Amino acid sequence: MTDTKFPPENNLPAGYEPPKVWTWEPGNGGQFASVNRPIAGSTQEKERPVGRHPLQLYSLGTPNGVKVTIMLEELLAAGHAGAEYDAWLINIGKGDQFGSGFVEVNPNSKIPALMDHQPKDGGAPLRVFESGSILVYLAEKFGAFLPTDPRARTEAMNWLFWQMGSAPFLGGGFGHFYAYAPMKIQYAIDRYAMEVKRQMDVLDRHLAEHEYMAGSEYSIADMAIWPWYGRLAMKDAYNDAGDFLSVDEYRHVQRWTKQIGERSGVKRGSMVNRTSGDPSTQLHERHDASDFDTKTQDKIAKA
């Protein structure tokens, strides 16, 4: 029987009809086909490295990874010496996230993941996964960047969870279909472009009346949102997406983006586990504060 509501000839690709039961084929997923799969668990035995600091981060310099390295660098800049950390590179393009050691830290096989070898309760090493959970964990461990006033704290948490729920529309939705999908699908691009512009307007209206996301106090909410929406505002995401989405019109987001981007902790945190862009701003792994001066990739290349 012909589907009159969704005639197959109008589908993309033309003639496609969803089967009664979906089955996975290795070619599914476009450029991510080599690492995408519909099951969890490890695919290889690979020991997880452990450095000399209590905090061991396993990550990549994506927006979700940058949230955590910004937080750690901000903690160190604020004088919290216990926040010293090792940041190990997890190359998701090569499937490092499916190594057995990493899966022990994050059964969901996503970066970032953190092991705290000196948790506050003095017990066994504690794993923390999901970027928002890591931010809250570190804020509570060190008593920093999360307001203590109940109203301001609630506002920070509101915006942290807003980001966690909204960013998939930006990255997995708009970013995927605009920059990574194997074909341009107008419906998908229009759908997610509209939503991302709505989200940018939400931020712009809020930042018109507040210096930071939680009010007058810089917090983990700013650290969570800036790598996603600040990067978009700087036209540093998904090829020419900044122009496509007319990000210059969000002037309050632009003000906030520049203000956050000038912080030393943000600058340093944005370099860690980064593997693309200007080589002088790439620090594939971070094991000591001196690495920023001695081990950026351009200096290694010239050594």
As a three-state string, the secondary structure of the chain is CCCCCCCHHHCCCCCCCCCCCCCCCCCCCHHHCCCCCCCCCCCECCCCCCCCCCEEEEECCCHHHHHHHHHHHHHHHCCCHHHCEEEEECCHHHCHHHEHHHHHHCCCCCCCEEEECCCCCCCCCEEEECHHHHHHHHHHHHCCCCCCCHHHHHHHHHHHHHHHHHHHHHHHHHHHHHHHCCCCCHHHHHHHHHHHHHHHHHHHHHHCCCCECCECCCCHHHHHHHHHHHHHHCCCCCCCHHHHCCHHHCHHHHHHHHHHHCCHHHHHHCCECCCCCCHHHCECCECCCCHHHHCCHHHHHHC
As a three-state string, the secondary structure of 41-81 is CCCECCCCCCCCCCEEEEECCCHHHHHHHHHHHHHHHCCCH
Total domain count, the chain: 2
Answer whether residue 28 is part of any domain.
no
* Shared-domain flag, residues 89 and 196: no
The residue ranges of the chain whose pLDDT is under 50 are none
Answer whether residue 167 is part of any domain.
yes
Answer whether residue 14 is part of any domain.
no
pLDDT at 298: 75
* Shared-domain flag, residues 103 and 197: no
Answer whether residue 23 is part of any domain.
no
* Shared-domain flag, residues 111 and 162: no
* Shared-domain flag, residues 154 and 230: yes
CA dihedral 105, 110, 111, 114 (to 10 degrees): -20
Q: Which of 90, 120, 142 is the last residue of a domain?
A: 142
* Shared-domain flag, residues 125 and 169: no
CA distance 206 to 203: 5
pLDDT at 3: 63
* Shared-domain flag, residues 154 and 234: yes
Answer whether residue 290 is part of any domain.
no
Domain span at residue 251 reads 150-269
* Shared-domain flag, residues 156 and 198: yes
Other CB atoms within a 10 A radius of the CB of residue 179 amount to: 13
Total length of the chain: 303
* Shared-domain flag, residues 168 and 232: yes
CATH number of the domain that residue 63 is part of: 3.40.30.10
pLDDT at 1: 52
Answer whether residue 248 is part of any domain.
yes
Residue with tokens 């792994």: 285
* Shared-domain flag, residues 124 and 157: no
* Shared-domain flag, residues 71 and 127: yes
Q: What is the pTM of this model?
A: 0.95
CA dihedral 94, 97, 102, 108 (to 10 degrees): -170
Q: Which of 142, 177, 197 is the last residue of a domain?
A: 142
CA distance 10 to 250: 36
Answer whether residue 16 is part of any domain.
no
Instruction: Decide: 173 and 192 in contact? Cβ < 8 Å.
Output: yes
Among residues 242, 181, 112, 27, the alpha carbon closest in space to that of 35 is found at 27
CA distance 187 to 180: 15
CATH number of the domain that residue 242 is part of: 1.20.1050.10
Q: Which of 142, 163, 196 is the last residue of a domain?
A: 142
* Shared-domain flag, residues 126 and 162: no
Answer whether residue 279 is part of any domain.
no
pLDDT at 25: 83
Tens of pLDDT, residue by residue over 224-234, are 999 999 999 99
